[in-house]
Structure 1
Amino acid sequence: MSQRQIILDTETTGLYAGSGDRLVEFAGLEMTNRHFTGKNLHLYVHPERDMPEEAAAVHGLTIDVLEEKNAPVFAEVGQQIADFLRGAELIIHNAKFDVGFLNMEFQRMGLPTIEALGCTVTDTLAMARQMFPGQKASLDALCTRFEVDRSKRVYHGALIDCELLGEVYLAMTRGQFSLADSFAESAAEAAVNRRPRPEYLKVVQPNEAELAEHEAYLDTLEKTSDGHCAWRPKAAEAGA
């Protein structure tokens, strides 16, 4: 059974999980076998503090907007998020940031960390830097590189960023899976070639009727070729 993958993104009040900043939006899109399952989780979260103007300018979420959305505090949804993530491979762009905030919020509630939930983490930022050294590796830059339409991305919202990241991740890894398919086909062919083969071929001798039929056929060839039957010269010479 294929492992669940979750394309994940968060939005926060700032950059520092250890200095009082809080999570304000969570989005996760589930994928198995490189196909989105439709099982997703998207939540707005009240940070229980003010929203800095510079943060709101990035994601468009003010405290008023969150209150209009009746956004719960993290303590009300933390268990739901943890259960959704448990045991999955998390696909995150700049994973250290999002994992740091999730772990901070989980620990405030006494919940297990991402690692303790049995999750593995794939950082697409690190992947991009390895694939394209010296090139821009932001999500915007990767969307441009892989021709992913980001025209609907007005703000850095967690849900739209997950949708874009999902397409980017599939594009980034398409070659790996094509290569894996080729290896699988080669392995299957090799397995067929390794099947035990008989050490000899069984020789079936003709019976008298079959020999007589064969000689009659050669007689016909000899008559139609004016005695130049290719199957009888040596026999004729041997009998001379």
Structure 2
Amino acid sequence: MFLIFDTETTGLPKRYTAPISDTDNWPRCIQIAWQLHDRNGVIIEHEDYLIQPEGFDIPYDSERIHGISTELAKEKGIPLAEAAEKFAQVLSKTKFVVGQNVGFDINIMGCEFFRMGMETPLTELPVLDTCTETTAQLCQIPGGRGGKFKLPTLTELHQFLFNEPFEEAHNATADVEATTRCFLELIRRNIFTAEELDVQPDYFEQFSEANPKTIELIGLQHINLKKASEEIRSHQEAKTETVEISSEEIDENLEVLKGTAFAHLHNHSQFSILQSTSSTRDLVQAAIENEMPAVALTDSGNMMGAFHFTKAVNDYNKSLSEEDKHKKLKAIVGCEFFVCEDHENRSHKDNGYQIVMLAKNKNGYHNLAKMASIAYTKGFYYVPRIDKKVVEQYKEDIIVLTGSLYGEVASKVLNIGEKQAEEALLWWKEQFGDDLYIEIMRHNQEDERRVNGTLIDFSKKHDIKLVACNNTYYI
């Protein structure tokens, strides 16, 4: 028996080498599909289940890929325990576990079984994978590591074997159907060996007699998950009462804003190497021309521009006449740090989250400088890094902004879940209290629109002030 299965998840693990007992590392399963076939390729059963998220949300970036929203999974899914029990039953019937890059799916379900304390043969069963060096040699697609051919995606393998595209990727049931077709065709073409399949040499002749023509799809109907999620969301939004804002109110608000001072607090200069085109003097000049009371410098991982930045501000302030002293510009020195789990761990790549920190005074500046120094001398691995232990040690007289979409809170909203994002926010609030600000940006991006609603809710719920930023890299 061959059990071909696939999962859709809430994201990707930080470390693919982590054991399945590392439940914080492995994402959650939100869809599982499988087909069970006998040794001649005859289908015995097929199943497909959405799984209700319990204690977590499906993040936006994952939904963009597979189309499964939290709302859809809650409405159409079944409890994880029920899906796991059904999957455990079919595991007891099979001889092999089969899939495209199936090691990932084995770890996903292995971790789910571990969370529930279920014993299954999943990690003990022999594995047959359609994504190997063998299929790489078969497809011969350039671009692999070390000059080798790259491992084919399911779409690429399907195109090679059948000379037609596979368009339903990232729906577990569609992926399983395509993987099954590819797998059985590989057997028909004698790509798998008798040793791998644990069969006698005459098996391939028998299989070819049972399948004389190119393997076809079995013709399952696949739900358009993105469309289904959009329909549920639209239905829920229609039920929600919205407060209409009149054009008069908008005009009044805009009039109030005209007299409101604004300062950019998240800016990069040429010292954000290979990222920003702004010079420190251009940054200061732009703030002057826009009559801003202050401007901040927050380069990526370093404070090398601080001297040039403050000098440019001081030069401008000294040039002011007595009657223009009220136009003085305040220089705010800061840094956008890469905050990872362990800044001294170089066993795997972890660039961390991008967190903006601003000095309140001279002592705060010294603490920023110490952290920047540690990031380079002890934490450099791809990027200069610190961790939360370093932050705890040097947090005095520092203001923290939660950062852009690559900040911990926003990134977790998009990639992991709102529950984890809220937990992260509360850690920063515990450390910095009223010196923590939630940073929001609006660049007419869908991901920002999604995350801003959640950030505003967090702001109201936990009484944390909002600050509008732009994360500028050029002027």
TM-score of Structure 1 vs Structure 2, range by shorter chain: 0.5 to 0.7
Q: 1:68 to 1:128 in 2, by over 3 A?
A: same
Report deviation, 1:53.
1.2
Asked if residue 57 in structure 1 is aligned to residue 64 in structure 2, the reply is yes
Asked if residue 5 in structure 1 is aligned to residue 11 in structure 2, the reply is no
Q: Which structure: greater helix fraction?
A: 1
Tell me the distance in 1 between the aligned counterparts of 2:109 and 2:149.
30
Residues 99-155 of structure 1: CA distance to partner in whole angstroms, max 9, x if unpaired? Answer: 001100111111124446x522112112423544504510011011012644551x5
Tell me the distance in 1 between the aligned counterparts of 2:163 and 2:34.
19
Tell me the distance in 1 between the aligned counterparts of 2:49 and 2:118.
18
Report deviation, 1:83.
0.9
Pairing of 1:41-190 with structure 2 (within 5 A): 41-48=47-54, 49-69=56-76, 71-88=77-94, 89-115=96-122, 119-126=125-132, 127-129=134-136, 131=138, 132=140, 134-147=149-162, 149-150=164-165, 153=168, 155-176=169-190, 184=202
Q: Which amino acid aligns with 1:176?
A: N
TM-score relative to the length of structure 2: 0.35
For residue 27 of structure 1, what is the aligned residue in structure 2? 33
Residues 170-202 of structure 1: CA distance to partner in whole angstroms, max 9, x if unpaired? Answer: 2222222899799539xxxxxxxxxxxxxxxxx
Residues 43-92 of structure 1: CA distance to partner in whole angstroms, max 9, x if unpaired? Answer: 110122111111111111001111231x1221232111111112521111
Tell me the distance in 2 between the aligned counterparts of 1:178 and 1:92.
14
For residue 37 of structure 1, what is the aligned residue in structure 2? 43
Alignment: residue pair count: 179
TM-score relative to the length of structure 1: 0.65
Tell me: higher relative CO, structure 1 or 2? Use CA pairs within 8 A at least 6 residues apart.
1
Q: Which runs of 5+ in 2 are unaligned?
A: 14-22, 141-147, 204-475
- SS of the aligned residue for 2:179 comes to helix
Contact 2:137 2:149 in 1 (8 A): no
Tell me the distance in 1 between the aligned counterparts of 2:105 and 2:193.
31
Q: Which amino acid aligns with 2:173?
A: L
Tell me the distance in 2 between the aligned counterparts of 1:85 and 1:179.
23
Tell me the distance in 1 between the aligned counterparts of 2:157 and 2:29.
25
Q: Which runs of 5+ in 1 are unaligned?
A: 186-240
Q: Which amino acid aligns with 2:202?
A: A
Tell me the distance in 1 between the aligned counterparts of 2:151 and 2:191.
24
Larger deviation, residues 75-84 vs 95-104 = 75-84
For residue 190 of structure 1, what is the aligned residue in structure 2? none
Tell me the distance in 1 between the aligned counterparts of 2:127 and 2:166.
28
Tell me the distance in 2 between the aligned counterparts of 1:179 and 1:10.
27
Tell me the distance in 1 between the aligned counterparts of 2:171 and 2:91.
19
- SS of the aligned residue for 2:170 comes to coil
Contact 1:9 1:26 in 2 (8 A): yes
Report deviation, 1:28.
0.7
Larger deviation, residues 105-114 vs 11-20 = 11-20
Q: Which amino acid aligns with 1:174?
A: R
Larger radius of gyration: 1
Alpha-carbon RMSD across the aligned residues, in angstroms, is 2.8
Q: 1:148 to 1:80 in 2, by over 3 A?
A: farther
- SS of the aligned residue for 1:42 comes to strand
- SS of the aligned residue for 1:25 comes to strand
Contact 1:28 1:159 in 2 (8 A): yes
- SS of the aligned residue for 1:34 comes to coil
Report deviation, 1:94.
0.9
Contact 1:103 1:114 in 2 (8 A): no
Larger deviation, residues 168-177 vs 138-147 = 168-177
